[in-house]
Amino acid sequence: AQSVTQPDIHITVSEGASLELRCNYSYGATPYLFWYVQSPGQGLQLLLKYFSGDTLVQGIKGFEAEFKRSQSSFNLRKPSVHWSDAAEYFCAIRLTGNQFYFGTGTSLTVIP
Amino acid sequence: ETGVTQTPRHLVMGMTNKKSLKCEQHLGHNAMYWYKQSAKKPLELMFVYSLEERVENNSVPSRFSPECPNSSHLFLHLHTLQPEDSALYLCASSQDTGLAYEQYFGPGTRLTVT
């Protein structure tokens, strides 16, 4: 069965430090891959997506993600975290227009 | 109003009540979606509408009844809910249901069933 795993439930980083959020998926082929961010009281906002081509994808707010087929991973990174990045982050895969699978999310806390 | 709006933002209802959640998108999109977000569980896609026709129903109990009167509005009618139905219900829209189309989410309705 298809699934998305985000192994880190909660991560705390210092402002200015680098960040990497992990995402692994289970699917027989390469799905469409997404990272979303959800701030408190808000809906999900798309950070970036990967369909094909260059495996390093740039997104909004200084985020990037790298697709590694051999590891079935799509990890999200940011070189220097800002306090405003504190939020919940969701990795998702899309197999068809109507098959969308999300991970359970990683909560990010940023300390001054 | 811009983007995707949802009303009410918070709703408390008893198990015997009937209520409705409303979603409106101001983006000119053709596809709309209902999701359920429960604590510590993955986001679950409930329903998909394309041009006002339901194209997906992911084994959702019949106590949830969607309605899409036009491409801008989506409702979720609720009746005889259970406490485990308490969750954040998110609405989203996209230009179409194809893989490449980004979904835009509303802020959600926080539902508590007592």
Residue ranges of chain B whose pLDDT lies below 70: 1
Binning pLDDT at 50, 70 and 90, where does residue A39 land? very high
* CA gap B34, B49 in Å, rounded: 9
Supply angle C-alpha A22, A101, B1, rounded to 5: 100
Query: Which of A49, A90, A94 comes nearest B43 by C-beta?
Result: A90
For residue B16, give every residue at least 6 positions away whose Cβ sits within 8 Å of its Cβ, in sequence order, or none.
B80
CA closest to A40 among chain B residues: B107
pLDDT at B77: 97
- What are the residues whose beta carbons fall under 8 Å from the beta carbon of B55, sequence distance 6 or more? A98, B48, B49, B97
How far apart (Å, rounded) are the C-alpha atoms in residues B91 and A43?
A: 9
Structure confidence at residue B53 (pLDDT): 86
User: How many residue pairs bridge chain A and chain B with CB atoms within 8 Å of each other?
Assistant: 50
DSSP conformation letters of chain A: --EEE---SEEEEETTS-EEE--EEE-SS--EEEEEEE-TT--EEEEEEE-SS-SEEE-GGG-EEEEEGGGTEEEEEESS--GGG-EEEEEEEEEETTEEEE---EEEEEE-
In the stretch 17-36 of chain A, residues with CB closer than 8 A to chain B read 32, 36
pLDDT tens-digit map of A55-112: 999 999 999 999 999 999 999 999 999 999 999 999 999 887 678 899 999 999 999 9
**pLDDT value of residue A60:** 96
pLDDT at B93: 95
pLDDT at B22: 98
- A86 phi and psi angles, rounded to 5 deg: -60, 120
Residue B40: list chain A partners with CB under 8 A.
104
Dump strand ranges (E) for chain B. Answer: 4-7, 10-13, 18-25, 31-37, 44-50, 53-57, 64-70, 73-79, 87-94, 104-105, 109-113
Question: Which positions 23-82 of B are in contact with A (Cβ < 8 Å)?
Answer: 31, 40-43, 45, 48, 55-56
> Which of A41, A43, A97 is closest, CB to CB, to B90?
A43
Q: Is A43 part of the contact surface with chain B (CB cutoff 8 Å)?
A: yes
Q: Which residue of A has its CA nearest to B41?
A: A104
Residue A70: phi and psi, rounded to 5, are -65, -25
